[in-house]
Amino acid sequence: MKVVVVGHGPTGHRLVEALRARDDTGSCRITVIGEETRSAYDRVALTSYLTEDADLAYPAHDGEVELLTGDPAVEIDRAARVVRTGSGREVAYDALVLATGSAPFVPPVEGRDLPGVFVYRTIDDLESLRRHCAGLAASRPGAGGVVVGGGLLGLEAARALQDLGVDTHVVEVAPWLMPRQLDEGGGAMLRRHIEALGMRVHAGTPMAGLEAGGDGAVARVALADGSAIDAGVVVFSAGIRPRDELARACGLPVGERGGIVVDDACRTADPAIWAVGECALVDGQVYGLVAPCFSMAEVVADHLLATAGGAGSGARFEGADLSTKLKLMGVDVASFGDPFAGPEQGALDITYTDPVAGVYKKLVVSDDARTLVGGVLVGDASAYPTLRAYVGAELPGSPEQALFGGTEAAGGDLPGATVICSCNNVSAETIRCAIRDDGLRDLAEVKGCTRAGSTCGSCVPLVKKLLDAELTAAGIEVSRALCEHFDHSRAELFDIVRVRGITSFTRLIEEHGRGRGCDICKPVVASILASLGNGHILDGEQAALQDTNDHFLANMQKNGTYSVVPRIPGGEITPDKLIVIGEVARDFGLYTKITGGQRIDLFGARVEQLPEIWRRLVEAGFESGHAYGKSLRTVKSCVGSTWCRYGVQDSVAMAIRLELRYRGLRAPHKLKSAVSGCARECAEAQSKDFGVIATEKGWNLYLAGNGGMRPRHADLFASDLDDETLIRYIDRFLMFYIRTADRLQRTASWLESLEGGIDYLREVIVDDRLGLCAELDAAMDRHVDGYADEWRATLEDPDKLRRFVSFVNAPDTPDPSIAFTPEREQIKPVLVAGPRLEVTTR
Lowest mean pLDDT among 43-52, 285-294, 494-503, 664-673: 43-52
Domain assignment present for residue 820? The answer is no
As a whole number, the mean pLDDT across the chain is 86
Position 410 pLDDT exceeds 50: no
Taking the C-alpha atoms of residue 378 and residue 360, their distance in angstroms, rounded to an integer, is: 5
- The average pLDDT across 59-73 equals 86
The domain boundary residue, chosen from 504, 523, 551: 551
Residues 328 and 270 in one domain: no
**682 annotated as belonging to a binding site for a ligand:** yes
Residues 295 and 200 in one domain: no
- The average pLDDT across 502-509 equals 90
Domain assignment present for residue 724? The answer is yes
Q: Give the bridge partners for 555, in sequence order.
A: 563
CATH code, domain carrying 58: 3.50.50.60
Name residue 54's amino acid. A
Residues 131 and 196 in one domain: yes
Position 838 pLDDT exceeds 60: no
Give yes or no for a contact between 73 and 83, defined as CB atoms under 8 angstroms apart. Answer: yes
Q: Which residue has the higher pLDDT, 508 or 52?
A: 508
Taking the C-alpha atoms of residue 264 and residue 283, their distance in angstroms, rounded to an integer, is: 8
Domain assignment present for residue 364? The answer is yes
The predicted structure's pLDDT at residue 710:
60
CATH code, domain carrying 436: 1.10.10.1100
Lowest mean pLDDT among 38-52, 372-386, 773-787: 38-52
Position 551 pLDDT exceeds 90: no
The predicted structure's pLDDT at residue 101:
94
Q: Measured between alpha carbons, how far apart are the two ends of the chain, in Å?
A: 50
Position 588 pLDDT exceeds 50: yes
The predicted structure's pLDDT at residue 408:
44
Q: pLDDT by residue (tens digit) across 716-771?
A: 999 999 999 999 999 999 999 999 998 888 999 899 888 888 999 999 999 999 99
Give yes or no for a contact between 513 and 485, defined as CB atoms under 8 angstroms apart. Answer: yes
Q: How confident is the model at residue 708 (pLDDT cuts 50, 70, 90)?
A: low
CA distances from 658 to 15, 650, 671, 690, 700 (A): 42, 13, 12, 11, 15
Name residue 28's amino acid. C
The domain boundary residue, chosen from 255, 285, 308: 308
Q: Give the bridge partners for 4, in sequence order.
A: 31, 96
Residues 376 and 428 in one domain: no
Q: What's the chain's Rg over C-alpha atoms? A: 29
**Total domains present in the chain:** 6
The predicted structure's pLDDT at residue 835:
32
Residues 13 and 79 in one domain: yes
Residues 776 and 653 in one domain: yes
Position 810 pLDDT exceeds 60: no
Position 264 pLDDT exceeds 60: yes
Q: Give the bridge partners for 310, in sequence order.
A: none
CATH code, domain carrying 668: 3.30.413.10
Give yes or no for a contact between 750 and 444, defined as CB atoms under 8 angstroms apart. Answer: no
Neighbours of 90 (CB within 10 A): 11
Domain assignment present for residue 66? The answer is yes
The predicted structure's pLDDT at residue 238:
85
Q: How confident is the model at residue 11 (pLDDT cuts 50, 70, 90)?
A: very high
The predicted structure's pLDDT at residue 759:
92
Q: pLDDT by residue (tens digit) across 436-457?
A: 888 887 777 888 788 887 665 5
The predicted structure's pLDDT at residue 480:
66
- The average pLDDT across 409-418 equals 59
The predicted structure's pLDDT at residue 683:
93
How far is C-alpha 324 from the geometric centre of its chain's CA atoms? Answer: 18
**678 annotated as belonging to a binding site for a ligand:** yes
The predicted structure's pLDDT at residue 409:
42
Above pLDDT 90, what percent of the chain? 47
Lowest mean pLDDT among 127-131, 134-138, 302-306, 580-584: 134-138
The predicted structure's pLDDT at residue 54:
67
Q: pLDDT by residue (tens digit) across 375-384?
A: 999 988 777 8
Domain assignment present for residue 535? The answer is yes
Q: How confident is the model at residue 691 (pLDDT cuts 50, 70, 90)?
A: very high
The predicted structure's pLDDT at residue 511:
92
Residues 44 and 191 in one domain: no
Position 796 pLDDT exceeds 80: yes
Give yes or no for a contact between 388 and 372, defined as CB atoms under 8 angstroms apart. Answer: no
Give yes or no for a contact between 78 and 85, defined as CB atoms under 8 angstroms apart. Answer: no
Residues 669 and 783 in one domain: yes
Residues 471 and 519 in one domain: no
Residues 229 and 135 in one domain: yes
Of the CA atoms within 13 Å of residue 721, those in its CB half-sphere come to: 21
The predicted structure's pLDDT at residue 438:
86
The predicted structure's pLDDT at residue 610:
93
Taking the C-alpha atoms of residue 787 and residue 535, their distance in angstroms, rounded to an integer, is: 9
Give yes or no for a contact between 376 and 183, defined as CB atoms under 8 angstroms apart. Answer: yes
Taking the C-alpha atoms of residue 156 and residue 329, their distance in angstroms, rounded to an integer, is: 8
The domain boundary residue, chosen from 764, 788, 812: 788
Domain assignment present for residue 683? The answer is yes
- The average pLDDT across 195-205 equals 88
Position 815 pLDDT exceeds 80: no
Domain assignment present for residue 152? The answer is yes
Task: Count Cβ neighbours within 10 Å for each residue of 646-672 and write b for 16 or more, e otherwise.
Answer: ebbbbbbbbbbbbbebbbbbbbbbbbb
Lowest mean pLDDT among 159-168, 304-313, 639-648, 827-836: 827-836
The predicted structure's pLDDT at residue 472:
73
Domain extent, residue 422, equals 410-479
Residues 168 and 71 in one domain: no
Please provide the DSSP assignment of 595-654 as one string: -TTS-EEEEEE-GGGHHHHHHHHHHTT--B--TTSSBEEEEEE--HHHH-TT--S-HHHH
Q: How confident is the model at residue 670 (pLDDT cuts 50, 70, 90)?
A: very high
**773 annotated as belonging to a binding site for a ligand:** no
Above pLDDT 70, what percent of the chain? 91
Residues 368 and 334 in one domain: yes
Domain assignment present for residue 765? The answer is yes
Q: How confident is the model at residue 233 (pLDDT cuts 50, 70, 90)?
A: very high
Q: What is the DSSP code (8-state) at residue 470?
A: H
Taking the C-alpha atoms of residue 622 and residue 85, their distance in angstroms, rounded to an integer, is: 51
Comparing CA positions, the residue from 296, 17, 711, 57 lying closest to residue 288 is 296
Q: How confident is the model at residue 667 (pLDDT cuts 50, 70, 90)?
A: very high
Q: pLDDT by residue (tens digit) across 155-191?
A: 888 988 888 888 999 999 999 999 988 999 999 999 9
